[in-house]
Amino acid sequence: MRKLAAGNWKMNGTAEDLAEVSALITAHPAPGCEMLLCPPATLLSRMADIAAGSALMVGGQNCHAKASGAHTGDISADMLKEAGATHVILGHSERRADHAETDIAVRAKTMAAQAAGLTAIVCVGETEAQRNAGETLLVIGAQLAGSLPVKLTGAVDGLVVAYEPVWAIGTGRTPTLKEVGEVHAFIRAALVERYGETARAIRLLYGGSVKPSNAADIFAVPHVNGALVGGASLKASDFGPIVAALAKA
Ligand code: PGA
């Protein structure tokens, strides 16, 4: 399985930050794993131009479930694709919290993304209160059940699942490696139960405070097939070592 190092710039980055993209490509011309950056939509096509012909892929951070229409401020999957995206992050906890995105909405977006030929990176994860209440697997099971397409259509690499504990995002805190392993094994089992043996090839990413200093340990956990990285994806000097750790894992 080809591993994936994905960076999520969130609402960060203007044209001057594109220098980081060139630096990343120069430092990792053939990284040995898949390498993806998801900038704000305003930078997508410029980043795609810089990445053209390199090992770097670019993606969106969200899309609408519909192909077009009266949806002010929204972007369709086809539009992302035209701008150069190959992937789109869907159901990130910040979208779920800031925009009240439900599992059903995330599923509709996932199907729209896949229909447009994009790889959907679907995010799930528990809050701190849910973890403390012992509800982590229950919550993630429900998110998977509601957010993922009922049937796996198209190529198995058109779907990626990211486990991102909400309390680990941007906090510098991470679950223990044992906890990461438990959740990833649970997600793998849930996907196999839902889609059959083919689901063993679906990439599972861990996300939440991944840094150069903890990346190698996280990548050694079974069923961790890459990372979704926020803050540490903004600088090539942080993201590059994470990519390198994944390539070596
Ligand atoms: P972080 O964010 O790496 O800054 O914790 C991860 C994410 O939200 O994808």
Residue 198 contacts residue 236 (beta carbons within 8 Å): no
Q: What is the pLDDT of residue 29?
A: 94
Distance from Cα 231 to the centre of ligand 1, integer Å? 6
Q: What is the pLDDT of residue 89?
A: 98
Q: How far apart are CA 207 and CA 209, in angstroms?
A: 7
Q: How far is CA 68 from the centre of its chain?
A: 24
Other C-beta atoms within 10 Å of 62: how many? 22
Nearest to 103 by CA among 74, 129, 61, 139: 139
Residue 114 contacts residue 122 (beta carbons within 8 Å): no
Q: Does the annotation count 16 as an active-site position? A: no
Q: How far apart are CA 5 and CA 196, in angstroms?
A: 25
Nearest to 122 by CA among 139, 96, 86, 147: 147
Number of domains into which the chain is organized:
1
Residue 209 contacts residue 173 (beta carbons within 8 Å): yes
Distance from Cα 165 to the centre of ligand 1, integer Å? 10
Domain that holds residue 132: 4-248
Q: How far is CA 129 from the centre of its chain?
A: 23
pLDDT in tens, 133-189: 999 999 999 999 999 999 998 788 899 999 999 999 999 999 999 999 999 999 999
What SS3 state is found at 12? Answer: coil
Q: Is the CB of 238 under 6 A from ligand 1?
A: no
- Closest residue (by CA) to atom 3 of ligand 1? 230
Looking from the CA of residue 209, the nearest atom of ligand 1 is 5
Tally the residues of the chain. 249
Q: What is the pLDDT of residue 154?
A: 78
CB neighbours of 117 closer than 8 A, spacing ≥ 6? Answer: 81
Q: What is the pLDDT of residue 11?
A: 98
Residue 216 is which amino acid?
Answer: A
Residue 205 contacts residue 160 (beta carbons within 8 Å): yes
Cα–Cα–Cα angle for 123, 44, 236, nearest 5°? 75
Kindly report the backbone phi and psi dihedral angles of residue 162, in degrees, each rounded to the nearest multiple of 5, phi listed first.
-110, 125
CATH at residue 39 = 3.20.20.70
Q: How far apart are CA 235 and CA 199, in angstroms?
A: 33
Cα–Cα–Cα angle for 140, 145, 148, nearest 5°? 105
Tokens encoding 42: 């305003």
- Active-site annotation holder among 92, 101, 126, 223: 92
Q: What percent of the chain has pLDDT over 70?
A: 100
Q: What is the pLDDT of residue 155?
A: 84
Q: What is the pLDDT of residue 153?
A: 80
Looking from the CA of residue 169, the nearest atom of ligand 1 is 5
Q: Which residues of the chain have pLDDT under 70?
A: none
Residue 137 contacts residue 104 (beta carbons within 8 Å): no
pTM for this predicted structure: 0.98
Q: Which of 122, 228, 234 to mutate to test the pocket of ligand 1 (most atoms within 8 A of CB)?
A: 228
Pairing between β-strand 34-38 and β-strand 56-60 as defined by DSSP bridges:
parallel
